[in-house]
Amino acid sequence: MSKPTFKIICDYRENFKSKTFSGFFNDHQDRNTFEKINREILKLGFDCEIFGGVRELMNAYAKDCKCDKNSIYINLSDGLDTQYSRVQIPVLCDLLRLKYSGCGPFEAALATNKFYSNLAVKNLDYLTPSDILFNRCYICEQEIHIEKYPVIVKPNCEGSSLGITHNSVCSDKTQVLNVIQELSPFFAEFLIEEYIQGYDITNFVIGNNRNIVLNEVLAIKHHNKLIFETEVLGVDDHINKSRIFLPAEKYLPKELIQKIKHESVTIMEKLHIKDICRIDYRVTENGDIYFLEINTVPAIHEESQAGAICKNKQIPFSEFIEFFLKSI
């Protein structure tokens, strides 16, 4: 059997504007990162090239271009800067009948929407924070009824802490409404979520159908703390690269880490999340695990969780990429 050939689908950070005013930041990885991933795949003995991103796929579909149907297209794109941007690549790949890595359109949309992904995980009998979905098109501010404070207010369909600042944690309704008022020009929908005190935990998983080739749990240190009472991981922390990813086994019991890993694998299986994902949790000092969100196109570079795993486990970056290819 001949080796598969790969084409990388990606959209370069350099081609997008900043999503914040406090410094340059957007979700996308830069050109150098994708070129390095391409080089590593070539070193592993596979044919691989960078195909392009959303615009190249749209052009291929609009002009009825013949794409290589034998190659596997590795989806590493966050899509264009629109709502539900991560749905764009799987939709276009389906239209072009390409073989591609990662989730299909519905699964990508579900993962993007924090409120509905929380409902899906809650249906698996796992813990999620109590939450309220707020959209002015459907309900008015007077209908917001919060039973317990503090809460955190965040955009419902954004990642990378976009829209989250130190003001996002609120202790009364007036503060909640002020945050919504401030962010309404930029975001249409908000999640008002119970603030869970505890560890910020992230779980990076590669694999499919219980055939998991990598499953690593990390604790996130920021604001010089590991256990959080009112602090948030805001977009400024991403810009300033103030997060530190640490091996979770230094802080959590082995049995609890295994429980987190099992929960992540189950969520992937039941929500049909394929090949790769990163799931974020808040874990209390009592060992309660609260699902927060899932990322179906996690960043793969030295400064991300992937890089921290390579450093902590002394795994060469090429071996990490090989795990990913094996899963695909």
Query: Distance between CA atoms of 72 and 77, rounded to whole angstroms?
Result: 15
SS3 letters across 172-190: CHHHHHHHHHHHCCCCCCE
Does residue 241 register a pLDDT over 80?
A: no
pLDDT of residue 21: 57
Does residue 242 register a pLDDT over 80?
A: no
pLDDT of residue 62: 93
pLDDT of residue 236: 67
Query: Distance between CA atoms of 126 and 122, rounded to whole angstroms?
Result: 5
Q: Which long-range contacts (CB under 8 A, 24 or more apart) does 119-125 make?
A: 120/270, 120/271, 121/267, 121/271, 121/291, 124/266, 124/267, 124/270
pLDDT of residue 252: 97
Query: Distance between CA atoms of 115 and 72, rounded to whole angstroms?
Result: 32
pLDDT of residue 86: 94
Does residue 239 register a pLDDT over 70?
A: no
Mean pLDDT of the chain: 91
Does residue 20 register a pLDDT over 70?
A: no
By the 10 Å C-beta count (0-12 exposed, 13-18 middle, 19+ buried), 6 is classed as buried
User: How far apart are the two ends of the chain, measured CA to CA in Å?
Assistant: 16
Strands 276-283 and 244-247: unpaired
Does residue 2 register a pLDDT over 80?
A: no
The neighbour count for residue 278, using CB atoms within 10 Å, is 21
- According to DSSP H, which parts of 96-196 are helical? 105-112, 114-122, 173-183
CB hemisphere CA count around 198 (13 angstroms): 20
* 16 membership: H or E segment, kind and range: none
pLDDT of residue 67: 87
Of 60, 76, 20, which Cα lies nearest the Cα of 297? 76
Note the pLDDT tens digit of each residue in 42-70.
Answer: 999 999 999 999 999 999 999 888 888 89
* 23 confidence band (pLDDT: 50, 70, 90): low
25 vs 110, higher pLDDT:
110
Tell me which fold the domain 131-194 belongs to: Dna Ligase; domain 1 (3.30.1490)
Note the pLDDT tens digit of each residue in 183-237.
Answer: 999 898 999 999 999 999 999 999 998 799 999 999 999 888 899 998 887 666 6
CATH class of segment(s) 6-101: alpha beta
pLDDT of residue 165: 85
Q: Which residues contact 123 (CB under 8 A, 6 or more apart)?
A: none
| Structure tokens belonging to residue 6 | 């790969």
Residue spans per domain, the chain = 6-101, 110-127+196-327, 131-194
Once rounded to an integer, what is the mean pLDDT over residues 322-328? 94
Torsion from C-alpha of 100, 301, 281, 159, nearest 10 degrees = -70
CATH class of segment(s) 110-127+196-327: alpha beta
For residue 225, give the DSSP letter.
Answer: B
pLDDT of residue 210: 74
pLDDT of residue 142: 80
Note the pLDDT tens digit of each residue in 295-317.
Answer: 999 999 888 899 999 999 999 99
For residue 29, give the DSSP letter.
Answer: P
Q: Which residues contact 11 (CB under 8 A, 6 or more apart)?
A: 28, 53, 54, 77, 78, 79, 80
